[in-house]
Amino acid sequence: MENPVDLSGKVAIVTGGGKGVGKGISERLLEAGAQVVICGRTKPEQLPMGGDREAIFTRCDVRDVEQVQACVEFTVNRCGRLDILVNNAGGAPSAEAATVSPRFSEAIIRLNLIAPLNFAQAANTVMQSQDEGGCIINIASVSTIRPSPGTAAYGAAKAGLVNLGTSLAVEWAPKVRINAIICGLTETEQSHLHYGDEEGLAAVGRTIPLGRMAIPRDIGDSCLFLASPLASYISGASIAVHGGGEVPVFLGVANADTGN
């Protein structure tokens, strides 16, 4: 029986694929046999590895449309094709919506919404020319489906990214599939900046029904599924990879007698 998640012969780009969630995605695709090109503004100290494969790095600021086009061209020239694009690069520092500058908000939306659109357009041009087409996976956030205080522009951009995928899935079918992953709270090498020490991470994990935060490999597994033939009829969808979400606050404070 053939391995349904064997990506041998496939070529992927993972934006921001050298660290955090992006690294977990890159490693998982490499393990499945894909050639993986990662891009970012700086080269990571250690390139992602999977099996006997190492990712290929090319420098690219995803906010610069000319660099985006150059990244896609580099990949096709180096690897011969492009089958998978994972729009992972993004993020935002905390900032109060009442006082943040318009320039800051525009930059956040450009990074988290406009840049993935530009990358998707460049990738689609290549994929439409291939007999087997391709697939695009947009990495969204739980900020898409719940309030995002402190990162309002980021949450709005990620919500826009999910909606964008539903439209592109119609426009670019049947050659190209587009889906989104709504990524939950994830433990990475920078988690301490947001959640504190190990005790803080554990406390956050206890607010999640599955009892822990995600790890990058969890997101990588979901990308592997969406990029594989197992998802050949899935397009325009969003998959929540968040461990069941967040336990509603009212359950911890309510004291009503529920007995009969």
The domains found in the chain, sorted by start residue, are: 11-241 (3.40.50.720)
pTM of the model: 0.93
Confidence of residue 129 (pLDDT cuts 50, 70, 90): very high
Using an 8 Å Cβ cutoff, are 4 and 29 in contact? no
Cα–chain center distance at 39 = 14
More confident residue, 9 or 249: 9
Catalytic sites, residue numbers:
154
Over 90: is that where the pLDDT of 187 sits?
A: no
Task: Express each pLDDT in 26-56 by its tens digit.
Answer: 999 999 999 999 999 999 999 999 988 999 9
Using an 8 Å Cβ cutoff, are 128 and 186 in contact? no
**Strand ranges of the sheet holding 176-183, from the earlier edge strand across to the other edge:** 56-59, 35-40, 11-15, 84-87, 134-141, 176-183, 238-241
Rounded mean pLDDT, 85-112 = 96
